[in-house]
């Protein structure tokens, strides 16, 4: 009985949240590029997780920027934060776990500080376009894929080699997922999932560890039909759909032009809310570890896509790599008009 009750609870969780938000909700945008803009140096295999160590105030600042741009869901700076990654830098297991918890604490503090500002600010929007509207805000604890830990771009290929079995993937993620599930976040965001095996590992892990926190599964695609490894997108969504924690399924870190078709294929498999946070469409050079300039879409184009995605059936929107608070503010204005 416990299973079916928690399943009903998790399904109701996002439906209720969306109802309170007016039918649609907004996720924040890119983290790493914003941290760099504020002066962080991310040239490190730990990438944005490095800021948990060196400059947590910058992470807090970026979270605040997104809340003031209208985001309803803040994703923690734990995408690249793994216990194995921290340990390889000489941190103990305890220190590594506390860094994971710290990513959630920073986001929760930003939410409290934002609510304080909302209480003292009138009207809802300041002359410089900052939004101070009291609303329910969720903290999503980010879990990046095994490929993100490797820091070799393999989350964009999904090819992990034959030695990475289902059991090995579960062991890789187990402790981290447990720590984040108990950290005070409202949900877990499994992001940039590049293959079916990792989706299965997450779903089985939640079940085995009896974790009751809601979760969303966001996959990435480079052709609009498959996830990046070549596995069928629909089959991946089916795995997420069958997991009792799942409150939304969707797409992140994927060029905007593929999203429309992917939403249609998700709808054939699930009736759960669909979350969409694409990248700007720029291409990433894994060898140079940098973005190829001028290959993406403008904020205006990105925002005009949102209306189409909304009409196709998605209800949670944000941005991934190379999107900014301006992108999110544009989405906020567009959705406010609906």
Return the closest-CA partner of residue 189 out of 235, 251, 223, 143: 143
pLDDT(99) > 70: yes
| Most confident of the following: 126-130, 192-196, 294-298, 301-305 | 192-196
pLDDT at residue 261 is higher than 70: yes
Task: Provide the whole-model pTM.
Answer: 0.93
Which of 47-56, 85-94, 199-208, 250-259 comes out lowest in average pLDDT? Answer: 47-56
Binding residues: 253, 320-321
What is the pLDDT at residue 5?
Answer: 46
CA-atom Rg of the chain in angstroms: 18
Report residue 167 as tokens: 């059991």
Structure tokens given for 94 = 């305890």
CA 94 → CA 57, 170, 183, 260, distances in Å? 22, 20, 14, 43
Q: What is the pLDDT of residue 313?
A: 96
Query: Could you tell me which residues are annotated as the binding site for Zn(2+)?
Result: 253, 320-321
Strand 25-26, strand 316-317: pairing: parallel
Least confident of 155-164, 184-193, 281-290: 281-290
When pLDDT is cut at 50, 70 and 90, the band that residue 292 belongs to is low
Cis peptide before 123 (omega within 30 of 0): yes
Place of tokens 């969707």: 250
For 67, the token pair is 């809340």
- Tell me, what's the pLDDT at 98? 95
For 300, counting Cβ atoms within 10 Å of its Cβ (0-12 exposed, 13-18 middle, 19+ buried), the class is exposed
Q: Is the confidence at residue 3, as pLDDT, over 50?
A: no
Pick from 52, 13, 319: which is nearest to 138 by CA?
13
Strand partners of residue 216: 189, 248
> How does the average pLDDT of the chain come out, rounded?
90
Whether pLDDT at 159 is above 70: yes
Structural domains in the chain, CATH included, are 1-337 (3.20.20.330)
């Amino acid at each position: 009985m416990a299973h079916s009750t928690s399943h009903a609870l998790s399904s109701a969780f996002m439906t209720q949240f969306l109802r309170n938000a007016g039918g649609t909700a907004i996720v924040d945008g890119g983290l790493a590029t914003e941290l760099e803009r504020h002066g962080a140096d991310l040239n490190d295999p730990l990438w944005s997780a490095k800021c948990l160590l060196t400059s947590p105030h910058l992470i807090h600042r970026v979270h605040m920027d997104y809340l003031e741009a209208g985001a309803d869901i803040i994703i923690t700076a734990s995408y690249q934060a793994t216990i194995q990654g921290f340990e390889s830098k000489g941190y103990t297991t305890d220190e590594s776990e506390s860094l994971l918890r710290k990513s959630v604490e920073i986001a929760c503090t930003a939410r409290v500080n934002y609510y304080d500002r909302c209480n003292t600010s009138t009207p809802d929007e300041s002359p410089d376009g900052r939004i101070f509207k009291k609303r329910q805000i969720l903290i999503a604890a980010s879990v990046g894929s095994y490929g993100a830990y490797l820091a070799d771009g393999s989350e964009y290929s999904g090819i992990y080699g034959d030695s990475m079995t289902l059991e090995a993937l579960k062991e890789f993620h187990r402790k981290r997922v447990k720590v984040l599930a108990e950290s005070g976040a409202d949900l877990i965001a499994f992001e940039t999932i590049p293959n079916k095996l990792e989706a299965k590992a997450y779903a089985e892990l939640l079940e085995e560890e009896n974790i009751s926190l809601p979760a969303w599964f966001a996959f990435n695609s480079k052709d609009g039909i498959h996830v990046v490894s070549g596995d069928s997108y629909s089959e991946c969504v089916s795995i997420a759909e069958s997991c009792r924690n799942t409150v939304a399924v969707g797409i992140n870190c994927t060029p905007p032009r593929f999203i429309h078709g992917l939403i249609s294929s998700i709808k054939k498999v699930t009736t759960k809310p669909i979350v969409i946070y694409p990248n700007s469409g720029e291409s990433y050079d894994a060898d140079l570890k940098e973005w190829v300039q001028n290959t993406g879409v403008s904020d205006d184009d990105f925002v005009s896509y949102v209306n189409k995605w909304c009409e196709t059936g998605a209800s949670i929107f944000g941005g991934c790599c190379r999107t900014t608070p301006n992108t999110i503010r544009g989405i906020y204005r567009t959705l406010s008009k609906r």
